[in-house]
């Protein structure tokens, strides 16, 4: 813990942390030693972790990367972080993120962008770590934390994991409790581990997951020992290769890593099966209707009365307007506008209801595929990490980052990103494995072969 507290300090130039909690880390480590002496060690005993600043942490500033939560110190702990502390882990601090987890670059954070610890060979241009869990990914990649929590609504664990050369898993929707996690799009949000290795992800997920009566969408099935599933034996396992994920304009190096992954799995005895997920091309537009719709509703609670920032006005309405006008950044406002529009009378059927129907078709595509295959292999993102100024004036180009991650989010399925190779410029590239509901263990087993 001491070494990691020092590493967090040494890496400040990355801006990966919004809040450092060294005292909490060191006293947590002492308490951990005590439990170990008494023979009560938990599965994560003494492991120093970073927590995405979307998880409420009792008496510790929780910002969601937004100005509107200015000074917010929750009186309660999120279930996921409480589970981690109960398993013996200690907290190093709260990591930076895109505002309310809306973004793919970490550049929408009120607290500023995060630098990816990686550089293109021969260049010193700072690159984004991806997003929205960019601070968590950078902290793990820079060896500031042994692991970090992330949340993934449409790719926010998997894409930054790919950009930073680490492992990131989005579990099945309902596997981890959403209670005490600042809500973005409630039917999609899911917490998961970001770690250096697949084995670490298996250990950490076991510490985070579990049924929680405080979240009605949390699923009441026992949490398996994911490590036990990692037998190394993938012989006879069927891996689906979806033809719709070969999209025009994907750089050749992304295809090359995908082919390499296929070869590795074949060599380990798995069988490749060509599959079709025909509604894939509708996933991105569907997501960018459903996620903003839910966000516009979830973010209605920030009114200057209940939390954080309050900007005074002559009347109550003026106070609301001034607070929300100043408290939210441009991307969050864009999402609220889109969400309110697609939910408004007259457009609800044309946009929101249609998107919900397409969401079902996308889920059905996966169901049909899983009659034939055990897992699906795709690239995680259509590019490597990009420059900190890139794509900022083009929201649609930014949204395209999620093209490979969003379909599984809409279907509620688990996915993992594994570092699988380097781009021509020496940047990490990730491969994504998607699985059947609650088959995280199978994903871990296959992912280890690709690692
Ligand atoms: N990049 C996607 C978005 O901006 C996904 C974000 C997420 O998964 N939280 O909505």
pLDDT digit string, tens, across residues 8-26: 999 999 999 999 999 999 9
Q: Is 297 a catalytic residue?
A: no
> What pLDDT sits at residue 229?
97
CATH code, domain carrying 154: 3.90.1300.10
Atom of ligand 1 at shortest range from CA of 398: 1
In terms of domains, do 257 and 302 share one?
no
Check pLDDT > 90 for residue 222.
yes
CA–CA separation, 244 and 281 (whole Å): 8
Check pLDDT > 90 for residue 44.
yes
CA–CA separation, 115 and 215 (whole Å): 34
Calculate how far, in angstroms, residue 444's C-alpha sits from the geometric centre of ligand 1.
23
Quote helix, strand, coil % in the chain, to nearest 5: 40, 15, 45
ipTM of the complex, rounded to two decimals: 0.97
> What pLDDT sits at residue 397?
87
In terms of domains, do 182 and 82 share one?
yes
Task: With both helix axes pointing from N to C terminus, report the angle between 440-450 and 252-267 in degrees, rounded to the nearest 10.
Answer: 100
| Integer Rg of the chain from CA | 21
Residue from 134, 135, 116 nearest 125 by CA: 116
Calculate how far, in angstroms, residue 158's C-alpha sits from the geometric centre of ligand 1.
10
Task: With both helix axes pointing from N to C terminus, report the angle between 22-37 and 2-10 in degrees, rounded to the nearest 10.
Answer: 160
Best of 54, 96, 97, 102 for a ligand 1 pocket test (most atoms within 8 Å of beta carbon) = 102
In terms of domains, do 111 and 250 share one?
no
Query: Which of 81, 109, 132, 136 is an active site residue?
Result: 132
Q: Is 354 a catalytic residue?
A: no
Q: Is 156 a catalytic residue?
A: yes
In terms of domains, do 251 and 303 share one?
no
Where residue 152 falls among pLDDT bands split at 50, 70, 90?
Answer: very high
Check pLDDT > 90 for residue 238.
yes
Please calculate the CA angle 349-354-360 and round it to the nearest 5 degrees: 140
In terms of domains, do 214 and 269 share one?
no
In terms of domains, do 400 and 336 share one?
no
pLDDT digit string, tens, across residues 422-437: 999 999 999 999 999 9
Type and span of the H or E element at 444: helix 440-450
pLDDT digit string, tens, across residues 271-324: 999 999 999 999 999 999 999 999 999 999 999 998 899 999 999 999 999 999
Q: What is the mean pLDDT of residues 71-83?
A: 98
Judge contact between 39 and 117, C-beta under 8 A: no
- In the structure, which protein residues have their CB atom closer than 6 angstroms to any atom of ligand 1? 101-104, 132, 152-156, 184, 291, 402
Residue 317 burial (10 A CB sphere; 0-12, 13-18, 19+): exposed
Q: What is the mean pLDDT of residues 212-224?
A: 97
Calculate how far, in angstroms, residue 405's C-alpha sits from the geometric centre of ligand 1.
9
Q: What are phi and psi of 195, to 5 degrees?
A: -145, 175
Calculate how far, in angstroms, residue 10's C-alpha sits from the geometric centre of ligand 1.
29
Structure-token match 């799995």, residue found: 265
Where residue 158 falls among pLDDT bands split at 50, 70, 90?
Answer: very high
> What pLDDT sits at residue 248?
85
In terms of domains, do 39 and 107 share one?
yes
Calculate how far, in angstroms, residue 401's C-alpha sits from the geometric centre of ligand 1.
9
Query: Which of 81, 133, 156, 423 is an active site residue?
Result: 156
Check pLDDT > 90 for residue 148.
yes
Judge contact between 189 and 178, C-beta under 8 A: yes
Cβ within 8 Å of residue 245, ≥6 positions away: 277, 280, 378, 379, 404
In terms of domains, do 221 and 244 share one?
no
In terms of domains, do 370 and 259 share one?
yes
Structural domain count of the chain = 3
Residue from 224, 191, 158, 271 nearest 442 by CA: 224
Supply the range of the domain harboring residue 78.
Answer: 2-229
């Amino acid at each position: 813990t001491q070494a990691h507290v020092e590493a967090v300090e040494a890496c400040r130039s990355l801006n990966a942390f919004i809040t450092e909690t060294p005292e909490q880390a060191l006293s947590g480590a002492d308490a951990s030693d005590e439990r170990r002496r008494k023979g009560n060690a938990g599965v994560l005993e003494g492991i120093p972790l970073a927590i995405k600043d979307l998880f409420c942490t009792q008496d510790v500033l929780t910002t969601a990367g937004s100005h509107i939560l200015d000074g917010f110190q929750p009186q309660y702990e999120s279930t996921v972080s409480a589970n981690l502390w109960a398993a013996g882990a200690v907290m190093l601090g709260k990591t930076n993120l895109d505002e309310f987890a809306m973004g793919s670059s970490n550049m929408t954070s009120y607290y500023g962008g995060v630098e990816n610890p990686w550089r293109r060979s021969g260049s010193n241009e700072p690159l984004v770590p991806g997003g929205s869990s960019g601070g968590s990914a950078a902290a793990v990649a820079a060896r500031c934390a042994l692991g970090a929590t992330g949340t993934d609504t449409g790719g926010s664990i998997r894409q930054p994991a790919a950009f930073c050369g680490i492992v990131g898993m989005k579990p099945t929707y309902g596997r981890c409790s959403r209670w005490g996690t600042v809500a973005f799009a409630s039917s999609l949000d899911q917490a998961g581990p970001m770690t250096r290795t697949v084995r670490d992800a298996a250990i950490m997920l076991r510490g985070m997951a579990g049924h929680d009566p405080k979240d009605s969408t949390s699923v009441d099935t026992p949490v398996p020992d994911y490590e036990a599933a990692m037998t190394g034996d993938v012989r006879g396992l069927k891996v689906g290769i979806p033809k719709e994920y070969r999209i025009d304009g994907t750089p050749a190096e992304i295809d090359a890593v995908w082919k390499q992954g296929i070869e590795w799995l074949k060599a380990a005895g798995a069988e490749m099966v060509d599959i079709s997920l025909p509604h894939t091309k509708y996933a991105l537009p569907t997501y960018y209707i459903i996620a903003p719709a839910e966000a516009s509703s979830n973010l209605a609670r920030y009114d200057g009365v209940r939390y954080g920032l309050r900007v005074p006005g002559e009347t109550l309405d003026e106070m609301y307007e001034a607070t929300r006008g100043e408290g939210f950044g441009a991307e969050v406002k864009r999402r609220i506008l889109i969400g309110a529009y697609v939910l408004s009378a007259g457009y609800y059927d044309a946009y929101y209801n249609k998107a919900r129907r397409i969401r079902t078709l996308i889920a059905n595509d996966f169901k049909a595929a899983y009659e034939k295959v055990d897992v699906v292999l795709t690239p995680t993102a259509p590019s490597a990490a990009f420059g900190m100024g890139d794509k900022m004036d083009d929201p649609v180009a930014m949204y395209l980052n999620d093209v490979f991650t969003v379909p599984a989010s809409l279907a509620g399925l688990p996915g993992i990103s594994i570092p699988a190779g380097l781009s021509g410029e020496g940047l990490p590239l990730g491969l994504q494995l998607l699985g059947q509901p609650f088959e995280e263990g199978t994903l871990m087993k296959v992912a280890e072969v690709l690692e």
